[in-house]
């Protein structure tokens, strides 16, 4: 009898894996990233520059974001004036229909030792790389908004930032708990405001390092170091309501230090990006929708 149960368990596990691998292809490398991106920690698909991707380094590096092409080559750099990169952990992008602008959001949200009571998000208009930028290798961003916030339940390490394009709400996910915690920030803020990110729900995962919501708001990706989780909205549920549902586990070949994930703008797949670890150079990996 015990062998029958073992066979059943193996069968169920294989069935679940088959289901999870039916949505997207296995990842394949588009190219190795430059040495300037040895600690890549976030990625977002550009709106103003179709087919390009914004990324940045982890804390202790410069206050810069880099624009990658589809070969993982750096084609443009932006530096935030007067800012230190204490612990940048994620980047997100949104389209503001009312303001007719695309905004980039940089999450100064990491805190490995849980010692900083306040976190920051820097928001600025996404640069459109045009002939006007030819010969400019580094654009200095002097105009940006700063959102200062704290978590409603105390000091925690967080590494995942995502924006719901349907509601424009900002969501933060903690990292180190046995069951990580989801927080929500209001979309309505003025630069310099100090807000509270309200706790919304616990999620039965740990070591969450990145998350993204598709440009139509219907699909969510979240990853830890070993797995990628996928949710799809079936009605008008909020992001907290959606994430309470069981996700699909996608096929994922573990990267040495994979801390970044982003949807392709047209929803045709998603990208992951890893830090460079020892002899492994980080790569831009694409998972195509089947």
- Sort strands 145-151 and 138-141 into parallel, antiparallel or unpaired: unpaired
Q: Which domain holds residue 193?
A: 22-288
Q: Per-residue pLDDT for 11 more than 60? A: no
In a domain, 281, yes or no: yes
DSSP one-letter code for 280: B
In a domain, 92, yes or no: yes
Question: Which of 237, 195, 206 lies closest to 220 in space, CA to CA?
Answer: 237
Q: Is 271 exposed, middle or buried (0-12, 13-18, 19+ CB in 10 A)?
A: buried
Q: What is the pLDDT of residues 214-266, one digit of tens each?
A: 999 999 999 999 999 999 999 889 999 999 999 999 999 999 889 999 999 99
- Cβ–Cβ contacts within 10 Å for residue 16, how many? 12
Question: Using an 8 Å Cβ cutoff, are 166 and 239 in contact?
Answer: no
Mean pLDDT estimate for the chain = 89
Q: Per-residue pLDDT for 10 more than 50? A: no
**Residue 21 structure tokens:** 């691998």
In a domain, 47, yes or no: yes
In a domain, 206, yes or no: yes
The arithmetic mean of pLDDT across residues 146-166, rounded, is 96
Question: Using an 8 Å Cβ cutoff, are 107 and 89 in contact?
Answer: yes
SS3 per residue for 181-207: EEEEECCCCCCCCEEEEEEEEEECCCC
Q: Per-residue pLDDT for 179 more than 60? A: yes
Q: How many domains does the chain have?
A: 1
Question: Using an 8 Å Cβ cutoff, are 234 and 222 in contact?
Answer: no
Q: Per-residue pLDDT for 51 more than 70? A: yes
The least confident of 116-120, 133-137, 149-153, 195-199 is: 133-137
In a domain, 167, yes or no: yes
Q: What is the pLDDT of residue 96?
A: 85
Region of residue 215 (phi > 0: left; psi between -120 and 50: alpha; otherwise: beta): alpha
Q: What's the CATH number where 277 sits?
A: 2.115.10
């Amino acid at each position: 009898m015990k062998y029958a149960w073992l066979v059943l368990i193996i069968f169920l596990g294989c069935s679940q894996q088959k289901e999870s691998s039916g949505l997207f292809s296995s990842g394949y490398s588009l190219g190795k990233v430059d040495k300037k991106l040895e600690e890549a920690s976030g990625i977002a698909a550009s709106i103003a520059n179709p087919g390009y991707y914004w990324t940045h380094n982890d804390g202790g590096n410069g206050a810069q974001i880099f624009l990658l092409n589809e070969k993982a080559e750096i084609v443009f750099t932006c530096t935030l004036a007067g800012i230190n990169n204490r612990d940048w952990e994620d980047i997100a992008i949104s389209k503001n229909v009312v303001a007719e602008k695309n905004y980039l959001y940089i999450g100064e949200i990491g805190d490995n030792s849980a010692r900083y009571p306040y976190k920051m998000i820097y928001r600025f208009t996404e640069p459109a790389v045009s002939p006007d930028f030819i010969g400019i290798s580094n654009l200095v961003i002097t105009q940006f908004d700063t959102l200062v916030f704290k978590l409603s339940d105390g000091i925690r390490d967080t590494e995942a930032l995502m924006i719901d394009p349907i509601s424009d709400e900002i969501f933060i996910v903690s990292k180190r708990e046995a069951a990580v915690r989801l927080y929500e920030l209001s979309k309505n803020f003025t630069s310099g405001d100090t807000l509270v990110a309200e706790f919304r729900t616990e999620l039965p995962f740990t070591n969450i390092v990145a998350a993204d919501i598709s440009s139509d708001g219907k699909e969510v990706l979240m990853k830890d170091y070993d797995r990628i989780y996928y949710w799809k909205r079936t009605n008008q549920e909020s992001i907290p309501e959606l994430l309470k549902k069981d996700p699909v586990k996608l096929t994922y070949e573990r990267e040495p230090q994979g801390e970044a994930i982003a949807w392709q703008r047209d929803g045709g797949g998603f990208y992951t990006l890893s830090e460079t670890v020892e002899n492994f150079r980080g790569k831009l990996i694409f998972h195509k929708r089947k």
